[in-house]
Structure formats: C-alpha cells, structure tokens
Amino acid sequence: MINQLSWKVGGQQGEGIESTGEIFAIALNRQGFYLYGYRHFSSRIKGGHTNNKIRVSTKALNSISDDLDILVAFDQETIDVNVHELNNGGVVIADSKFDPKVPENSNATLYAVPFTEIANELGTSLMKNMVAVGASSAILGLSHEVYREVVEEIFSRKGSSVVEKNMEAIKRGAEFLQEAAGDQAKSFELEKADGKKRMFMIGNHAVALGALAGGARFMPAYPITPASEIMEYLTKKLPEFGGAVIQTEDEISACTMAIGGNYAGVRTLTASSGPGLSLMMEAIGLAGITEIPLVIVNTQRGGPSTGLPTKQEQSDLMSMIYGTHGEIPKVVIAPSTVEESFYDTAEAFNIAEEYQCPVIVLTDLALALGKQTVEPLDHSRVEIRRGKFDFNAELPEIDDYFKRYELTEDGVSTRVVPGMKNGIHHVTGVEHNEQGKPSEDPTNRINQMNKRLTKLNRLHENFSNPIFTNAPHEESDLLIIGFNSTRGTIEEVLPRFEEDGLKVNHAQIRLVHPFPTDELQPLIDRAKKVVVVENNATGQLANIIKMNVNCKLENVLKYDGNPFLPSEIYTQCKELL
Amino acid sequence: MATFKDFRNNIKPNWCPGCGDFSVQAAIQRASANVGLEPENLAVVSGIGCSGRISGYINSYGFHSIHGRSLPIAQGVKMANRDLTVIASGGDGDGFAIGMAHTVHAIRRNIDVTYIVMDNHIYGLTKGQTSPRSAEGFKTKSTPTGSIESQISIMELAISSGAGFVAQSFSSDLKELTSIIEQGINHKGFSLINVFSPCVTFNKVNTYEWFKENITKLDAIEGYDPANRTQAVNTLMDHNGLVTGLIYQNKERPSYEQLVNGFSETGLVKQNISLEKDTFDGLLTEFM
C-alpha cells in the first residue's frame, strides 16, 4: 500500500483529456484523497498535445511532483513526450487502437487496453475516456463504483441508460486491466483515505468566490487566458445576488467601467492577465489620483506581448508595482495558495475601500488553473469593512462642494458617492483641491500628493501575515524566498534539505507592495545564504527585495513556461550553497 | 423641486468667449430641472478636451475622467446605481477617435446613459489638429495640406449599430437643444446627442454662420418620422449629416438594465453585501 502517487492522462487537445482527468480527480477527492492537478495545454481548441497531471495523496498537497507513476495515453505522442517522467516500475495504460509502443530505453510496463473498442461496443467512441478512467481505478485498487456519483451528476439528465452505459464502460476498463495486470496492479494500491468532504477547486474559482463573499456585485471584464474562469463563475453567480458581469469591448473599458462602479459605491472588480493589465495602466492612475477603490486581479502568464499565453510565468511584478505614469498609492497582494486566493481577494475589497486606492490581487497561471483539494473555507474569517464610507449617512447641509479630498491625519477622507444628498463634489484626474476642483497651486499639489502617498503607511499594522514564514531555525544555512504558486513547491523540498542536515527557512512574500521590510529583514539577517526563487528571467522579486532590504541575494530563475519542479529548486539551491 | 439655477455652481468655465459649449452647459442645466431631477441624483461623466471640463461646471456629481473613457465610466455608474440619471459628455475627438470603440459598444449595449457630444470638427485644447469629424481637405496643424481621411458619418454609424435614440442639435438653438436633452434623459436606454458646438478660436471654417447656412431642421421636413429608420438614414445622407432634431428613436427596445438576468430593481449600491453563512456554505458545496 502506498500513500501517494502521480497520474497523468494525455492526448490531442479536444479529445476529452480534460474531462477524463476531471472525472478521475473528483471521484478520488470525494473519497477523501488530497489532489493537486496541473494542466499542460496550448492556445488552440483542437489538436496539439495536452495533458493533465494529477497527484493523489492521503496528506495535504500544494505542488506537482517530480515524477510520475501512471501514464494514460490516447496517442503515441503522449507516450513519447511523457515516458521519461515515469518512475522505475511505472505503468503506461494506452489505447490498443494505435498499437502503442514504449521506447526501448524505458522499463515502464505497458498495458494496451481497448479503450476505443470497448466504447464502440457500448455504442459510442466518446466513452473511451470512461474506459480509461476504469482502468486507472483498477490499478489503484479502487472499486469502479467510486465513480458512480460523478457519472450520475454528469449524465443523469440524459437518462439512466446513459448513466449505466458509462458505468459499464468504467467497469469493463477496470476488468480488462485487472485481468491483464493480475497481481502486479497491487503495487499502486492506495491506502484508504479519510472520506472527508473537501473542496476541489482552481485558484480562479477561489478568487471569484472571494469576490462574491467580499461583497463584489459588479464585474466588467474582457476574456483572456488564464483569467476567464473568474468572470465565467461570476456571470453564473452574480444574478443570484442582483449583480451582473458585463463582457466589455476591451480591458480599457473593463477597468474604467469598474472605476465607474466603485465611484458610485458598488464593490466592483475586473480580472485579466498581463496584456489586459498593460491596457489598464492609464485608468489605474486615474483611480489612484481620484482615490477611488478598485480591485483588479492579474493572473500572470508568459509575457511579453502574447508571449506564452497558456504557460506559467511571474514576470508582471515590476509592472504591477510601478506601472502607470506618475506616482500613486497602490497595494499589490500575492496569494500563494488557493485558500489565500479566496481570503486575500475578499480582503482586497476592504483594503481598497479603507485606503481608497487600487488593489491588485496578483496570482499566476499555476495558481489560477492548478486544481487542488482545499479544506473548507471559513465564513467567519470574511469581514466587510468599508472604511470612511456609508451610503446611508446623513450629511449636513453645506453652501459649497463637499470636501471629498479633505486633508486628514491618516490621509483618508470621507467618501461620498452619487445619490447622497449634500455630498456633491467634483472628481477629476487633474490635480485638485479638497473639494475636487482643479488646482495647479504648488502648495496644494504637495499637500494632495503627500496625502495620497502616505495613507498606506498604516497598512502594515492591519495586513495580516504580509509574509508567510516557515522559519523554525533561529540561524539558517539557507533562506528561500518566493511569491505566488512557488510556495507549495518550496515546501515540498524543505525535508530534502533537512535530510542533508541543512537548516533552511522559507519566506513567501504575500504583500509585495508596499513592501514588508520590517518583517523580512530579521529573517534575512539570520540566514547565511538567501535564495530568491521565481518564474522570470530578470529576478524581479529579488530586485524588489534589494530595493527595500539591506541584503545580498542569489537567484534561482525559471522562464521556460513551466512551473518549478521540486527537484529543480533543490538542485539549484544546493549548487549555490 | 430644483430649478435650473440649482444646477449652477460658482465655477467660471475656462472656455473661450463665444464657445459653443456654454450653450450645452445651459441646456443640460435646464433639461435637468425640466425633467424634475435633484442635483444629487445626476452624475455627469466627461472625458478630456475643452468640452470635457463640463462635468465641473454643473452643480451635480461630476467626474472628469481620462481621454475617451467617459462612456465606460458612465455605464459603470449606471450599473452601480440605476436610480441615478447619468450623462456622459465630451468632444468629437474624445468620442469618435480615441473613444470610438466605447461609443459603438455603448450603443449596442444600451445601458440608460445620455451621451452628449460637443462636436466642433477640430481638436481645440491641443490647439488645432484634425478630428474624425473634420471634412476632407480641412487644413489644420496636423493636416497642413488638408485632411486626406474621410469624415465619420456618426449619426448613420450610430443608427446602423442599433442605437435606440439618435439626435443632433446646435449650440445656437438653446430651445431645441434643451428639448432634445430632455428627450434623451427620458429615453429608456442609450441616447446619443451630437451637438454642433463651434470652436471660435481654431475652426475658421465650421463657424456659427457656416452651420446656420448648412443645417436643415427636421421639423421643417414634411412627413419626417423619427420612428422610420430607413427615412432617418436617407435623410442624413441627403443632407450630408447636417440636420438637427430627433433623428431616430426606437421606443420599443428595452435597456440593458431591463434585460440583464436577475439584475437588482433598485440601485445595487443600496444592497446589503454580506453573505449569510448558509448561502456561503451552499456555494462551497458546489466545489465538493
């Protein structure tokens, strides 16, 4: 019996690879296993190799694995491209239809299962995915019945005979493999999971759910990979809460419409990826100078330009912090897990309203699309705090415009919105006085600039865990620093260093701007060597750290479009020691 | 009830004496009072340019934004609070050059916003360059030998994009302009009002006199029916677009707010945004 393994299914895009992985994973998740799935896909609808790698464990998971135990192949290319990942004793389960071959230099065991043939016998070749799923369950020592609930959910509206045919396909796949493998199948038999119900979700859905729980009721957005799931989920859900998603003509419209929604008092977000964020930059500056709350999600992908649109990268950090002309207050939060994607997005709306400025929730493709088991999210942890804004406030009668930009001790002024009596004021992207009226007076300019640029000084008192730290060692041989999705992978390699007798601390930066200097400095001071791990070519996080913390850093960089494997971080850190 | 004086503030516009935009300012103030608005329930969103300053010259909530983006901001305001009256405004460069995509899509989307364009056929604030509404051959600092690009027929383009309210007016005709803006505000859905608003400093061709000589009032055309789309387009083409009055109106087409699934009947801003625990738990179950 084993307590974890890695399974991968591959074939041509558009062949149902995604749904094969989905059904396999949901069924296992419901058995109480922890899963982590990562899809390899291209920017096209049909054709091209695609695969879905799913790691299964009886313990919590936050990362893909280095290796692979079981490869399910719908074509020879899948075997050729992925067979090198297989462990010693690994297994290939392939459709007998294409006469699969395992390369001579591989010692993988091949089971040619008639996926297509069985499916055709049952009525349609579409069910070949179910046969593959069945064969996979047999090798894990699971009954084919574990899939019944999922199959019923998907197919019950097509009638019970369709459900039974699909179950039959799964059963036949399982039976064929049991027969072919005999006792050998037992080598991948999984320990029993705890049977607890947990969520199985992608980071984008956690972000969308966080927005909903955080009170967002309007979302203008433009479709883009890998952010579209956020708008798609909210398009489905917001009508249940009186709100709406508008698919705009471009990201400039999305961002400015979101500014309009927030200006009028509704928590409004937009979400995009690098190219969209580039288009939004001027509008972000407008939100900064007009002190309008604004939440924007950026799910990073490979840049620049169209770059690697379906691949992992973390190269927007500098543009998120410094993008837009001029100088504005801005917050950039970088959640590092699916759970954090939820809580941080909900909290982003509080920060945006309390400090009246743009807040960017920065994620990356691996976090946005990586699908994993998540412990139930905690409703009591979600707060709604609206800062100096109350739509129902009764304002005293005044002769002149309301001082929307009144100079205050904390730099934040009372916010009023259209529809509020006695609150009329002007809003302009031109430098303005306390009433919002345009002003080029040098003293006023300095006062308003200082007001805006100092109001975030209090943020560190209120932002919980700006850095996720796992620092058990008072003095460390190595401190590894990362942001976003690298957290799970870094955590994965920590025990390997411990086995080598090395003392390693880990810090994952969650608040990248304004930078948590005071929290990071002591960790760096107590480390003999500091390595910053990031998915870009120029070491953007390392550069940000150097700007804020007195230190010497080493880079571990990866920018080939793929997330780090644990072994890559381990090996490259070791080389630097 | 508010009068047009309640929509005045104490700010002196920085427009040149004689600028057509003064009339548009007055007409918005009068129309707002005539339709029974209170200043706090009006939001005027404007873009960048001389005319973009108009949101600062009306006593209402005003948002002077960025170049070309008054429409998406105005639509966002209306979605957040459908109980407000929302006016978007700007110049012909703002709406038909840098903001053209938003204009066409605002027309298609049909959110209840009244868009008033001050069309002077030139870029004024940047001191005299060509605009998409400049005629071919028009000489400016950026077209010293005359514009070689065609003039946008904005009214025809709006009608062909599905606009439900298309009208044109002229700064010299305050009565008609006020009436048109009132009708635009009362129209349920997006309304486009293009106003010939001469630039007295940089446009020496399309002057008050030039417009007076060339404009045909639709009221004067016998049998003109603003509900007739074909007649509207033909009339525009016959007069090279130089007509004023209500050109086309489709009273049947519902607004976006009326059509969008599940949308709040009153302003979203008035809603309680906390999620009950049961509702929240129900959302989580869908991922299990």
**For the segment A469-499, what is each residue's pLDDT rounded down to a tens digit?**
999 999 999 999 999 999 999 999 999 999 9
Whether the Cβ atoms of residue A409 and residue A417 lie closer than 8 Å to each other: no
* Confidence category of residue B134, pLDDT binned at 50, 70, 90: very high
Whether residue A45 has pLDDT greater than 80:
no
Higher pLDDT, B63 or A1: B63
CA angle B214, B215, B221 (to 5 degrees): 125
φ, ψ dihedrals at A143, nearest 5°: -70, 145
Mean pLDDT over A3-7 rounds to: 95
Distance, CA of A424 to CA of A422 (rounded, Å)? 6
pLDDT at A14: 85
Chain B residues touching A376 at Cβ < 8 A: 284
- Kind plus residue range of the DSSP H or E element containing A481: strand A478-483
Which of B84, B261, B288 is facing A197, going by the closest CB pair? B288
Sign of the dihedral defined by the CA atoms of residues A235, A237, A239, A242, in that order? negative
- Which among B47, B48, B67, B58 is positioned nearest to B22, based on CA atoms? B58
Mean pLDDT over B57-86 rounds to: 98
Mean pLDDT over B229-239 rounds to: 98
pLDDT at A1: 87
* Confidence category of residue A41, pLDDT binned at 50, 70, 90: confident
CB contact under 8 A, B56 and A438: yes
In CATH, the architecture of A201-381 is 3-Layer(aba) Sandwich (3.40)
The fold of the A4-197 domain, in CATH, is Pyruvate-ferredoxin Oxidoreductase; domain 3 (3.40.920)
Mean pLDDT over A126-138 rounds to: 94
What separation, in Å, do the N-terminal and C-terminal C-alpha atoms of chain A show? 37
Structure tokens at B117: 């364009």
**B11 Cβ under 8 Å from any chain A Cβ:** yes
**B75 Cβ under 8 Å from any chain A Cβ:** yes
Q: How many domains does chain B have?
A: 1
Whether the Cβ atoms of residue B50 and residue B57 lie closer than 8 Å to each other: no
Distance, CA of B88 to CA of A95 (rounded, Å)? 61
CB contact under 8 A, B275 and A212: yes
Distance, CA of A335 to CA of A218 (rounded, Å)? 22
pLDDT at A46: 76
pLDDT at B82: 98
% chain A with pLDDT above 90: 94
Mean pLDDT over A415-427 rounds to: 98
Distance, CA of A75 to CA of B203 (rounded, Å)? 69
Higher pLDDT, A14 or A412: A412
Q: How far is CA A459 from CA A345, A357, B117, in A?
A: 16, 12, 42
Nearest-Cα residue of chain A relative to residue B274:
A215
Chain B residues touching A325 at Cβ < 8 A: none
**B262 Cβ under 8 Å from any chain A Cβ:** yes
* Confidence category of residue B282, pLDDT binned at 50, 70, 90: very high
* Confidence category of residue A441, pLDDT binned at 50, 70, 90: very high
Overall size of chain A counted in residues: 577
In CATH, what number is assigned to the domain containing residue B118?
3.40.50.970
In CATH, the architecture of A467-576 is 3-Layer(aba) Sandwich (3.40)
Q: What number of C-beta contacts closer than 8 Å exist between A and B?
A: 199
Whether residue A240 has pLDDT greater than 80:
yes
% chain B with pLDDT above 70: 100
* Confidence category of residue A177, pLDDT binned at 50, 70, 90: very high
Cis upstream peptide for B13 (omega within 30°): no
φ, ψ dihedrals at A199, nearest 5°: -80, 155
φ, ψ dihedrals at A379, nearest 5°: -55, -35
CB contact under 8 A, B102 and A249: yes
Whether the Cβ atoms of residue B73 and residue B63 lie closer than 8 Å to each other: yes
Q: How far is A14 from chain B (nearest CA, A)?
A: 24
Q: What is the pLDDT of residues A293-336, one digit of tens each?
A: 999 999 999 999 999 999 999 999 999 999 999 999 999 999 99
Domain ranges of chain A: 4-197, 201-381, 388-464, 467-576
Whether residue B72 has pLDDT greater than 90:
yes
Whether the Cβ atoms of residue B235 and residue B224 lie closer than 8 Å to each other: yes
CB contact under 8 A, A260 and B80: yes
Q: What is the pLDDT of residues A376-405, one digit of tens each?
A: 999 999 999 999 999 999 999 999 999 999
Whether residue A557 has pLDDT greater than 90:
yes
Q: Which of residues 236-265 of A touch B (CB under 8 A)?
A: 237-244, 246, 248-250, 252-254, 256-265
Which of B40, B76, B288 is facing A257, going by the closest CB pair? B76
* Confidence category of residue A276, pLDDT binned at 50, 70, 90: very high
Whether the Cβ atoms of residue A504 and residue A473 lie closer than 8 Å to each other: yes
Whether the Cβ atoms of residue A57 and residue A26 lie closer than 8 Å to each other: no
Q: What is the pLDDT of residues A334-377, one digit of tens each?
A: 999 999 999 999 999 999 999 999 999 999 999 999 999 999 99
Whether the Cβ atoms of residue A349 and residue A261 lie closer than 8 Å to each other: no
CB contact under 8 A, B76 and A242: no
DSSP B94-159: IIIIITHHHHHHHHHH--S-EEEEEE-SEETTTTSEE-TTSPTT---SS-TT---SPPP-HHHHHH
Whether residue A233 has pLDDT greater than 80:
yes
Whether residue A44 has pLDDT greater than 80:
no
Q: Which of residues 169-198 of B touch A (CB under 8 A)?
A: none
Chain B residues touching A201 at Cβ < 8 A: 287
pLDDT at A182: 85
Chain A residues touching B78 at Cβ < 8 A: 260
Higher pLDDT, A141 or A288: A288
Interface test with B, best of A259, A284, A349, A439 (most B CBs within 10 A): A259
**B259 Cβ under 8 Å from any chain A Cβ:** no
